[in-house]
Chains A and B, each alone.
Chain A
Amino acid sequence: MSDMLSAAFITVFITTVIAQAMPLMLASVGETIGEQAGVLNLGIEGVMLVGAYAGFVVTLSTGNFWIGMLAGVVGGVVANLAMLVLNVWLGLNQIVIGLAITLIGEGITSVLYLQNYTKSPASLGQAPKLAIPGLGDIPVVGPAIFQQSGIFWVALLIALVLAFALARTNWGLSTRSAGQKPSSLDAAGGSVMRTRSIAVLLGGGLAGLGGAYLSLITTATFSPLLTNGLGFIAIVITMLSRGRIIIVMITSLIYGLAVAIGPALQVIGFTIPADLIKMLPFLIVIVMLILFARSSVVPPALGSAYTRGAR
């Protein structure tokens, strides 16, 4: 009897860890690609919110989670257009534009949500599950990992493909050189503008996807300022991972653990104030920054716009 309970408990725990880790992972992978190309996007918080809201609205009206996810990607790309045009093309200050995107994203999603959904708060219900035959029947782990929604597997695949692409393809080489030394890419006949444009759009799409994952699967609803700083955590994780997407994935999982552990302890009988649980990931991050401050190396050209011939 008690064995049964603890088995179910562990299943729920693992499910929570994954649900919390995935949005962060997607956003961090997107931010990693942007930063590797030399664009620090402080707007990621706003981009995630736009993605989350777009996904929420579309899923609610179509009833299809996949279309909702796609809407999240589109929302993220659109939100990041400001960064593309103003920073990558016109060379304006990344920090200011990033903060503007965050503020506008926060404001507009909050206004729209409260305008349209306050009278009848909507929940989305559960995304369809994709039970993997055989593996899904494994006790404890099976229901937790192998009965996830298909979206989970697609997200995982995207991250792994990008991890390979960034490290091993010519596209990855160009992207990394745009963050390391854009003048080299330019001199070699590549286009810094195009490389960074692709990276920014990809980063926006992934952050939007992360936001949609958050609203469609993790919380199954939208609320104003839903992300609550998740975008900034993504930036920190990106810095600590030094451009390696596999490490981004592992760190995101650790974050998921940190978030899931609070409610889990509560089930066991320890009561931890909700505020402390909310703080925990940030505390972990700052401790990590203090411990690994030396090793958080960012690309040399991060944050600086590229103009040919400027010294």
Chain B
Amino acid sequence: MTTTATSEVISLRDITKAFPGVIANDHVSLDIVSGQVHCLLGENGAGKSTLISILAGMQQPDSGTVAFDGKVVDITSPKVAVDYGIGVVHQHSTLVPAFTVLENLMLGESSMLQNTKRAEQRLGELADLLGVEIDPHALASDLGLGQQQQVEIAKAMWKGSRLLVLDEPTSMLTPQAIEHLGESIARVKAQGLAVVLITHKLREAYAMGDCVTILRGGRNVGHIGVEQLAAYSEAEAQDAILAAMFGDDLAAVGDEASDLAGAAEATREVRAIDFDDRPVRLELRDVSSRGLGRDIEADGVTLTVHEGEILGIAGIDGHGQGALSEVVAGQRPVASGTVFFDGEDITKSGVRSRQQLGVRYVTDDRLHEGTVGSMSVALNLVIKRIGQRPFWKSGRIQPKAVDTEADRLIQEYGIRTPSPETRAGTLSGGNIQKILLARELTNGAKLVVVNKPTYGLDLKTVHLVREILIDFAARGGSVLLLSTDLDELIELSHRIEVISRGSLVGGVVNDGVGTAEKVGHYMTGAIEGTD
């Protein structure tokens, strides 16, 4: 083809980066070609983010080189990356919430005085290119997530870039917004820019990418080139990618592999239950919450969860999921409405009495809320039973009883820790999540609220966590599952409610095809006007 002659190649060669205890990138080599979308696929912890940090100048590789058309460059800082025309849209927003869109875009300019006019003009150009409309004087915090992302893309391309890197751009978007993003990417590609798209969902890689590179355990374990990918049928591409993603684990994970990798549309995996047979375990009647911070509060929420049921709550991150979980767990005061548990009014009772009734909560903030990182694994496992027998007797801690319980839970949940005395903060995210699950699901749990239970975990642990939840429900436990991952909700839930700005805006019984569309419909319907 003629295009390859004029197109530029950014080549990464033998990039190696080690952190204490892990090798994040192990001799990774790949070529990024302008005018193409290069998908980087791999599970959490595969080394995608480290590779991107190196491209963005946030990290320096221990060894290996980055070269533009054969000329080796040294990206020593984000500034150097920006100067080379590498624009990165990070997974976590880099917008300053208190700044306007324009201020965010101008941030990092070196001249003393601001040239607002020129900046507005540039924003206009970029908005045209991306096919979006952005109000330059809106506060970043007032924008919807989709719009924030558009601003981030504009920011990444602000100084005229040659490479646009998008790190998990779809993880917080509605299906409709993902479609819109796809269009924007196509326009950027048409301009001749190279695009790197990072994802852990196989079907997105297939749909959006011109070529795919798969990372596992910090290594490049497979590459499907442009011609090859075009030649494959969807099923062939899927098999090739799955084989690379899971390697030897493919047999162990078995049929789950394609679900875990988000290869196809998700389907329900829990056994159907008959709601009429099952007594109501949790009921919220018109509940609104009242907190101190600036989080979105639960607003007039009415819902029921039956015995043995998993009720999914879908929604874009930050739409009141935290408040809803905390209201059920007893961590956040109820402003109005009533909370019933097994028919009993528990609106006024606090965390500890709900805990004893069997209401449990696995928070999404595993590191700072769910565990105390500076304390031992053993203490973290009994931390919610402070002062209770047999771990405390008349206020004094009983180390033997604590150790026995800790050993039991570590065994049962397969928590990998050097010893029960190890500081919880030193364990991996997956093992910390196991600590939370072990602690919350033991000792008479009847209802567990789980908020984003698999966020940021590796595929094997994701699989394990989902199994634990399905198992818990099968034994008669009730689960209130809040997640931003639509596939996860569809696989696990009996019913799905959609939350938006703290209110429930619609519910779907998850019994067949089309659930995703229905949920997506409620999500966009509810947020029209912001996006």
Q: Are A309 and B58 in contact (CB under 8 A)?
A: yes
A35 to B81, CA, bound (A): 29
Q: Are B56 and A187 in contact (CB under 8 A)?
A: yes
Q: Are A188 and B59 in contact (CB under 8 A)?
A: no
Q: Are B82 and A189 in contact (CB under 8 A)?
A: yes
A185 contacts partner chain B, Cβ-Cβ < 8 Å: yes
Q: Are A181 and B96 in contact (CB under 8 A)?
A: yes
B78 contacts partner chain A, Cβ-Cβ < 8 Å: yes
Q: Which residues of A contact B108 (CB under 8 A)?
A: 174, 185, 188-190
Partner of B107, one of A169, A188, A308, A309: A188
Q: Are B58 and A173 in contact (CB under 8 A)?
A: no
A171 to B110, CA, bound (A): 8
Question: B365 to nearest A CB, angstroms?
Answer: 12
A174 to B112, CA, bound (A): 10
Q: Which residues of B contact A185 (CB under 8 A)?
A: 107-108
Q: Are A187 and B88 in contact (CB under 8 A)?
A: yes
A190 to B158, CA, bound (A): 14
Q: Which residues of B contact A308 (CB under 8 A)?
A: 58
Q: Are A170 and B110 in contact (CB under 8 A)?
A: yes
B83 contacts partner chain A, Cβ-Cβ < 8 Å: yes
B106 contacts partner chain A, Cβ-Cβ < 8 Å: yes
Q: Are B96 and A184 in contact (CB under 8 A)?
A: yes
Q: Are A184 and B95 in contact (CB under 8 A)?
A: yes
Once A185-B107, A189-B83 are accepted as A-B contacts, the answer to whether A177 and B96 lie under 8 Å apart by CB is: yes
Q: Are B155 and A180 in contact (CB under 8 A)?
A: no
Q: Which B residues from 97 to 117 make CB contacts under 8 A with A?
A: 97-99, 103-104, 106-114
Question: A105 to nearest B CB, angstroms?
Answer: 32
Q: Which residues of A contact B78 (CB under 8 A)?
A: 186-189
Question: B426 to nearest A CB, angstroms?
Answer: 15
A56 to B6, CA, bound (A): 70
A183 contacts partner chain B, Cβ-Cβ < 8 Å: yes
A191 contacts partner chain B, Cβ-Cβ < 8 Å: yes
Q: Are B107 and A173 in contact (CB under 8 A)?
A: yes
Q: Which residues of A contact B88 (CB under 8 A)?
A: 187
Q: Which B residues from 56 to 82 make CB contacts under 8 A with A?
A: 56, 58-59, 77-79, 81-82
Question: A182 to nearest B CB, angstroms?
Answer: 10
Q: Which residues of A contact B107 (CB under 8 A)?
A: 173-174, 177, 184-185, 188, 190
A183 to B79, CA, bound (A): 13
Q: Are B113 and A181 in contact (CB under 8 A)?
A: no
Q: Are B96 and A170 in contact (CB under 8 A)?
A: no
Q: Are A173 and B103 in contact (CB under 8 A)?
A: yes
Q: Are B82 and A170 in contact (CB under 8 A)?
A: no
Q: Are A187 and B114 in contact (CB under 8 A)?
A: no
Encode contact with A along B447-462: 1 for CB under 8 Å, 0 otherwise. 0000000000000000
A119 contacts partner chain B, Cβ-Cβ < 8 Å: no
B356 contacts partner chain A, Cβ-Cβ < 8 Å: no
B90 contacts partner chain A, Cβ-Cβ < 8 Å: yes
Question: A194 to nearest B CB, angstroms?
Answer: 11
Question: B30 to nearest A CB, angstroms?
Answer: 22
B53 contacts partner chain A, Cβ-Cβ < 8 Å: yes
A189 to B78, CA, bound (A): 5
A171 to B59, CA, bound (A): 25
Once A169-B113, A189-B81 are accepted as A-B contacts, the answer to whether A309 and B94 lie under 8 Å apart by CB is: no
Q: Which residues of B contact A169 (CB under 8 A)?
A: 112-114
Q: Are A180 and B98 in contact (CB under 8 A)?
A: yes
Nearest to B104 among chain A residues (CB) is: A184
Q: Are B106 and A173 in contact (CB under 8 A)?
A: yes
Q: Are B58 and A186 in contact (CB under 8 A)?
A: yes
Q: Are B99 and A188 in contact (CB under 8 A)?
A: no
Q: Are B94 and A170 in contact (CB under 8 A)?
A: no
A212 to B77, CA, bound (A): 40
Nearest to B57 among chain A residues (CB) is: A189
Q: Which B residues from 105 to 141 make CB contacts under 8 A with A?
A: 106-114
A188 to B88, CA, bound (A): 10
Nearest to A299 among chain B residues (CB) is: B98
Q: Are A171 and B112 in contact (CB under 8 A)?
A: yes
A173 to B103, CA, bound (A): 7
Once A183-B94, A184-B94, A186-B78 are accepted as A-B contacts, the answer to whether A170 and B99 lie under 8 Å apart by CB is: no
Question: A118 to nearest B CB, angstroms?
Answer: 48
Q: Which residues of A contact B103 (CB under 8 A)?
A: 173
Nearest to A188 among chain B residues (CB) is: B108
Q: Which residues of A contact B53 (CB under 8 A)?
A: 309
Once A188-B82, A189-B82, A309-B59 are accepted as A-B contacts, the answer to whether A181 and B94 lie under 8 Å apart by CB is: yes
A186 to B79, CA, bound (A): 8
Q: Are A187 and B90 in contact (CB under 8 A)?
A: yes
Encode contact with B along A235-264: 1 for CB under 8 Å, 0 otherwise. 000000000000000000000000000000
A191 to B58, CA, bound (A): 12
Q: Which A residues from 107 to 143 make CB contacts under 8 A with B?
A: none
A contact set with B: CB distance below 8 Å = 168-171, 173-174, 176-177, 180-181, 183-191, 308-309
* Contacts A170-B112, A190-B79 known; 17 new A-B pairs at CB < 8 A: A168-B114, A169-B112, A170-B111, A171-B112, A173-B103, A173-B107, A177-B107, A180-B97, A181-B95, A183-B94, A185-B107, A186-B78, A187-B58, A187-B90, A189-B108, A190-B108, A309-B53
Can you sample 5 A-B contacts with CB below 8 Å? A170-B113, A171-B112, A181-B96, A183-B94, A190-B79
